[in-house]
Amino acid sequence: MTALLTTNLGETPLIGRGKVRDLYSVPTAGRDALLQDALLIVATDRISAFDHVLGTGIPGKGKILTQISLFWFDLLSNLVPNHLITADVKSFPAALQPYADQLEGRSMLVKRARMFPVECVARGYLAGSGWKEYKASGMVCGIPLPAGLLDGSRLPEPVFTPSTKSQDGAHDENISFADVEKLAGAADAAQLRRLTLDIYRRAAEHAESRGLILADTKFEFGKTAEGIMLADEVLTPDSSRFWEGASWKPGGPQPSFDKQFVRDYLESIQWNKKAPAPSLPDEVVERTKDKYLEAFRRLTGRELSV
């Protein structure tokens, strides 16, 4: 199977390409005008590490991520509205049908929303940038935490630790809730915090039932005339730390269901983390793909052929 690194949908207007997803405006069937309230998100097989898109993709990764997101959108639908219109390619506008082979299993037709300029992060465990900030200050995003916690420790309660939404490959920076109020307004900031923590608790409970720990995750929200809704992707190994529950032991990094094989390889070749990004050997590609598929199977209880 060949990795899909770049989509090409002919005359369909491309809005932009992220590290993984390509975003399009949606042609109205039989007309030149565009639907003003719909977008097309296509998850490619690109993979990034250390803020760079690598020269090698992971075949099927975009399909795995999309199917995980669709699972969560359905599971969480009674808790928070989301931007999904349909993921059934046969229901897409006629102008997109010639590209069904690129779109099948990895695309979503979604509502256009005004996106909030913050990453809404929930942490139930101490890891990553949260651990680094805690070591330096005893706090995360201005929230004091108990003394004596270790890398990988479970927190007394999940916390909302927002960050900036990086542009052009820049690092996200942790910010305080007061900063979110300035960016989004007090009322919306309060709702973003409540939704983030409610979704995290529901998702962590489900993950635990599957033998997994949801250590932390980040969400993106948008706003339409209907109100605030969950958008983009959700609770995939690209946006979340899932750990094996049976082997969890605080005191260091935990094995995770993500692109750790990729990071480990890049560290082993002593890449300077500057462009151009290197390609990956076949073994790393296959092991990474298998890890993403395992995450899908564990979370959903289903098999996926990619």
Alpha helices in 92-230, H assignment, sequence order: 100-103, 128-137, 177-184, 186-209
Q: Concatenated DSSP letters for 78-121?
A: TTS-B-EEE--GGGS-GGGGGGHHHHTTTEEEEE--EE-SEEEE
pLDDT of amino acid 170: 58
Tens of pLDDT, residue by residue over 46-69, are 999 888 999 999 999 999 999 999
Percent of all residues in the chain with a pLDDT value above 90, rounded to a whole number: 81
pLDDT band at 33 (very low <50, low <70, confident <90, very high): very low
**In this model, does residue 124 exceed pLDDT 80?**
yes
Residues 6 or more apart from 18 whose CB is under 8 A from it? none
By C-alpha distance, which of 83, 81, 87, 77 is closest to 108?
87
**Residue 159 — φ and ψ, nearest 5°?**
-125, 150
1-112 domain in CATH 3.30.200.20? yes
pTM above 0.95, yes or no: no
**In this model, does residue 288 exceed pLDDT 70?**
yes
Pick 115-259's CATH classification: 3.30.70.270, 3.30.70.3040, 3.90.105.10, 3.30.470.20: 3.30.470.20
CA distance 77 to 72: 8
CA 9 vs CA 5, 22, 103, 277: distances in Å: 13, 10, 9, 26
What rounded mean pLDDT belongs to the chain? Answer: 92
**In this model, does residue 165 exceed pLDDT 90?**
no
User: Average pLDDT, stretch 250-259?
Assistant: 91
Tens of pLDDT, residue by residue over 67-114, are 999 999 999 999 999 999 999 999 999 899 999 999 999 999 999 999
pLDDT band at 30 (very low <50, low <70, confident <90, very high): very low
Per domain, the residue ranges of the chain are: 1-112, 115-259
pLDDT of amino acid 32: 40
